[in-house]
Amino acid sequence: MAKLVPENHPALHAIAEEITREEFSDGTVAKIVKDLRSAIKTYKVDGYTAVAIAAPQIGVSKRLFLIEDQSKAADRLPTIIAINPRFTKFSKKTHVVGEGCLSVPDYYGVVRRHTNVTLEALDEHGKRFTRGAGGLLAQIMQHEYDHLDGILFTDRAEELWHKDKTLRSARREAEQM
């Protein structure tokens, strides 16, 4: 079973390699997707489930990410497998949004992201697709794409805080009410 690698793992800080045509036919892509699905299901912290994971997060330096919302919500995000993705459009408009990461579990922060993006990639069968996204889905795509370039959200964060400090502060505020 694939597991999340620690934050200092080299795959999280390197530009991932493109997936080749041979890796579709020799089972490599299928194995990475299976391993990502296995790893994402194991994450549950503070009542939150995972929504996306990139291959470098399991120590595989390949350009592939999976969006697969593990929540039971009716408005779950769509499942997307993006192989060798690239953005073809970014909105000029950006916003500052809160983020966390499976690979940096003790920190949260705020990051500036484009509000809308268009992504072109291959699916798990090697078929090219284009997908536009706004809001949360656009944010997730940009976050996961960053993993493929060796960038963690902590590298982009405008503010960063340790979750224990945040939880302690929230508890103190709740007790004072």
Residues 6 or more apart whose CB falls under 8 angstroms from that of 87 comprise 117, 118, 119, 120, 141, 142, 145
- Residues found in the chain: 177
| Residue 87: closest CA among 121, 57, 128, 60 | 121
Q: Specify the amino acid at residue 18.
A: E
Choose, from 124, 144, 173, 175, the residue flagged as catalytic: 144
The CA-atom distances, in angstroms, between 82 and each of 64, 131, 172 are 6, 10, 42
Residues 6 or more apart whose CB falls under 8 angstroms from that of 49 comprise 43, 69, 70, 71
User: Is 17 assigned a catalytic role?
Assistant: no
The CA-atom distances, in angstroms, between 85 and each of 15, 116, 153 are 13, 16, 18
Active site residues: 144
